[in-house]
Structure 1
Amino acid sequence: MKIHSFPSISNQQSKVLILGTMPGIASLTLNQYYGHPRNAFWKILFTIFDEPYSTDYETRKKLVLKNNVALWDVLQNCVREGSLDSAIEQEIPNDFTDFLAAHPKIEKIFFNGQKAAQYFKKYVQVSNHYQLITLPSTSPANAGISFEEKLHVWGNVAI
């Protein structure tokens, strides 16, 4: 099945860009970044920014913008059955040339998992101005790393 990513959550104050690969089924169904209830992404972000956790999507979007974070996916669309990145085929990347030009304050690009980093490096060339950092996936499929370990490494997102 052909699926499409969401528009970015970003503004002119964004200094950090967090990139996933492509939304999973739960996220696509809810039309929300990191919508799977067992994905640790939002719990991690609320913790590192010292804010009370919320399941309200508008509150979540405000959290990232308030903290100068932008969210997007490396891929614009692909063919995939299920939610696993390993099932992605016929991928098309998002337009990072225009995005980064429109967000000149971004200096750090974090990847939510190895696959996001791999696809970015495959399709996108950026200057040395950007610091590229791969973080452990927050997906429930990445059960080999505890929440505490993920939280520790993800703490680098806070600027």
Structure 2
Amino acid sequence: MSAIRHASFAPHVTPDTRLLILGSLPGARSLADRQYYAHPTNQFWRLVGAVVDRPLASLDYADRLAALRNARVGLWDVIRTAERRTSSDGDIREAEAHDLGALVATLPDLRMIAFNGGKAAAIGRRQLPPLNGIAVVDLPSSSAAHTIGFDAKLTRWRALRVALDGTD
């Protein structure tokens, strides 16, 4: 199977975003469905639902995005385009990164940037400009392939709540 060049989605942010969660690059199911974290075994919607205290996994996609907007949570990926044969982050080659600094500059209320998985952190941290007052957190991947277990992931993901405290 030869590698195919894939492109990520547009950022899902609003000017009042306080928490920005950055993945690596959408997998095959997400690309096919044109939805962030579309694979049913990916734990993202359960994990971020616990952060915002909403049952996001049970909502349709448009309502999930609306709930994130209301909670001031943004989504994007660190990779603009890359070659990949499978959905595995380990299979990503020839990655071209997004300009994270340009996006961050448009988010005056941003309090925290969280990287969903090691690949996102490794590429994304190199793209960030110096940040004043914005926390940067590396999270265990929401992918079911990252097998530390849901409860262990949830403990780390719940720490993102601090970025949303005081939301009015």
TM-score greater than 0.5 by the shorter chain:
yes
Match of 2:51 among 48, 72, 90: 48
User: 2:81 maps to what in 1?
Assistant: 77
Structure 2 unaligned regions, length at least 5? none
Structure 1 unaligned regions, length at least 5? none
Q: 1:50 to 1:123 in 2, by over 3 A?
A: closer
Match of 1:36 among 39, 59, 75: 39
Q: RMSD of the TM alignment (CA)? A: 1.3
Runs of 4+ aligned residues of structure 1 deviating over 6 Å after TM superposition are none
User: 1:140 maps to what in 2?
Assistant: 144
Between the aligned partners of 2:100 and 2:126, the Cα distance in structure 1 is 13
Is the CA contact (8 Å cut-off) linking 1:17 and 1:71 kept in structure 2?
yes
Between the aligned partners of 1:41 and 1:119, the Cα distance in structure 2 is 20
Give the CA deviation at 1:65.
Answer: 0.8
Give the CA deviation at 1:38.
Answer: 0.5
Between the aligned partners of 1:137 and 1:15, the Cα distance in structure 2 is 21
Letter in 2 for 1:52: P
Is the CA contact (8 Å cut-off) linking 2:46 and 2:55 kept in structure 1?
no
Letter in 2 for 1:14: T
Instruction: Report % sequence identity.
Output: 34
Mapping for residues 1-159 of structure 1, pairs under 5 Å: 1-53=4-56, 54-143=58-147, 145-158=148-161, 159=164
Give the CA deviation at 1:46.
Answer: 1.8
Is the CA contact (8 Å cut-off) linking 2:21 and 2:73 kept in structure 1?
yes
Give the CA deviation at 1:55.
Answer: 4.1
Between the aligned partners of 1:140 and 1:9, the Cα distance in structure 2 is 23
